[in-house]
Amino acid sequence: MPNFGILFDLDGVIYQGNALIAGAKESISLLRQNNIPFRFITNTTRMTKRNLVTKLKSMGLSLEINEVFAAPHAAVEYCKSKGYKKIELVVPDRSMEEDFADFDLHTDNPQAIVMGDMGNQFTFDLLNSLFKKILNGAEIVALHKNKYWHSGKELILDLGAFVSALEFATEKESVVIGKPSPHLFQLASKPWGLPFKSIFMVGDDINSDINGAYNVGMQSVLVKTGKYREESLKRSEIKPDYIINSVADLPEILPLN
């Protein structure tokens, strides 16, 4: 049985835009051949996990749905642990409501507002509506708090900016479910029964991926694809254990036989 495992971020590490990053398919195939446990953990909230798997298959990467662990599933567990019955789900893909079927999603007085990235659907009216519900007692449950993401063409403002705006206006802190919160890292790797120090986290984001790995005691691998920016690395106090050009170079740092 292998004595290490790997968690991958997806967007910017395995794919960018509508194409796989060169070498990603080969690196994953090598892990399968060596029976190395791996899983993809993602803050992506623009599509369901099923649609994400379908998208990756269309790019040429075949994977099982249970090989992906996404922030919305951790949010379901969190809301259940808090005893919430009524929530508002703010996501662009309404089919994600299937994952939250145990909750009343159509209420004017939610106990929690689960927020994903709405992109250009973040209007003043939407934010103002959420603002009033938060003042009325709803908790902000952010699926992540990323500052920006890479569309394949350019950097684009992400969910974190809008969550921060609501925190500022309501003077309430959000609960962040996705990376760098420990939730995703711990839940995704739990089935392996490996110590965290034996798990590599491969990501392109110094804050959510590398800092998240550090917070749970995992080894961190920063790739120079996706949203990687040299100036962000230089400014950051967070230092990855490894820096590689892309996921294609991952086998060079792994303890393979």
Q: Domain locations in the chain?
A: 5-43+179-253, 72-176
Fold entry, domain 72-176: Rossmann fold (3.40.50)
- Candidate CATH numbers 1.10.3720.10, 3.90.1150.10, 3.30.1330.10, 3.40.50.1000; the one for domain 5-43+179-253: 3.40.50.1000
Per-residue pLDDT of the chain (257 residues; tens, 9 = 90+): 579 999 999 999 999 988 999 999 999 999 999 999 999 998 887 778 888 899 999 999 989 988 998 888 889 988 998 999 999 999 988 888 988 999 999 889 999 999 999 999 999 999 999 999 999 999 999 999 988 887 878 889 999 999 999 999 999 999 998 888 887 898 889 899 999 999 999 999 998 899 999 999 999 999 999 989 898 889 989 999 999 999 999 999 998 86
Return the HEC string of the chain. CCCCEEEECCECCCEECCEECCCHHHHHHHHHHCCCCEEEEECCCCCCHHHHHHHHHHHCCCCCHHHEEEHHHHHHHHHHHCCCCEEEEECCCHHHHHHHCCCECCCCCCCEEEECCCHHHCCHHHHHHHHHHHHCCCEEEECCCCCEEECCCCEEECHHHHHHHHHHHHCCCCEECCCCCHHHHHHHHHHHCCCHHHEEEEECCHHHHHHHHHHHCCEEEEECCCCCCHHHHHHCCCCCCEEECCHHHHHHHCCCC
pTM greater than 0.75? yes
